[in-house]
Amino acid sequence: MNDLSLHIIDILQNSIVAGATLVTLTVEENTAADRLRIVIEDNGRGMTAEQVTRLADPFFTSRTTRKVGMGIPLFRQTAEQSGGSLSVSSTPGVGTTVEAKFSLSHIDRPPLGALANSFILTATGHPSTEFILNYIYNDREYRFDTREVKEALDGLPLGLPQVVVMLDEMVRENIDELKKGFE
């Protein structure tokens, strides 16, 4: 995958398929620690310890629509090639947490890519699932919560094209604002 946002979309989709009603994406860039951390947490079906162990096998998937599950193995490979790691913790009936760590300055670390766009398109495309984005850049934090946005929109559907464009721009601008003065 060319950028990390594509890995994130894949894991967000896994959360949706697992029946999650709330998915939280946390992206933390810490330039002093030379660390990029991506955490996706959901309240979906969860997995047994055996299923979590089998996630390293690209030929293991719980989906019935296909026979391979490349998302976690590829994400893990990308993290490890970038001086980092990937871990998965899960509890049946509670949910799953996927955490990937990267060396921020590692030459093999893919860029984040169109993170705001990827997140917003996923969130607006699944209106029955609530999404939270926590973006942390050094000591600054931005939070986007679809529950708050839905309340502010007062019944206007998230999936309307003009709303999607507005939300994408809003998230991108807020993330850019966090980074001002650090570069």
Q: Look at residue 183 and tell me whether its pLDDT is greater than 70.
A: no
Mean pLDDT of the chain, nearest integer: 91
pLDDT band at 125 (very low <50, low <70, confident <90, very high): very high
Is pTM beyond 0.95? Reply is no
Mean pLDDT score, 68-90: 87
Q: Look at residue 109 and tell me whether its pLDDT is greater than 70.
A: yes
DSSP secondary structure code for residue 46 in this structure: -
46, 95 contact by CB (below 8 A):
yes
Question: In the chain, pLDDT over 70 holds for what percent of residues?
Answer: 91
Q: What's the pLDDT at 68?
A: 42
Edge-to-edge order in the sheet of strand 22-30: 85-91, 95-103, 35-42, 22-30, 130-137, 140-145
Q: What's the pLDDT at 71?
A: 80
Each residue of 44-69: pLDDT tens digit? 999 998 888 888 766 655 544 544 45
Burial annotation 52-87 (CB, 10 A radius, 16+ → b, else e): bebbeeeeebeeeeeeebebbbbbbebbeebbbebe
Q: What's the pLDDT at 155?
A: 86
DSSP secondary structure code for residue 55 in this structure: T
Phi, psi (deg, nearest 5) at residue 64: -95, -5
Each residue of 14-39: pLDDT tens digit? 999 999 999 999 999 999 999 999 99
Q: What's the pLDDT at 66?
A: 44
- For residue 134 the two structure tokens come to 């926590």
pLDDT band at 70 (very low <50, low <70, confident <90, very high): low
Q: Look at residue 146 and tell me whether its pLDDT is greater than 70.
A: yes
Phi, psi (deg, nearest 5) at residue 28: -125, 120
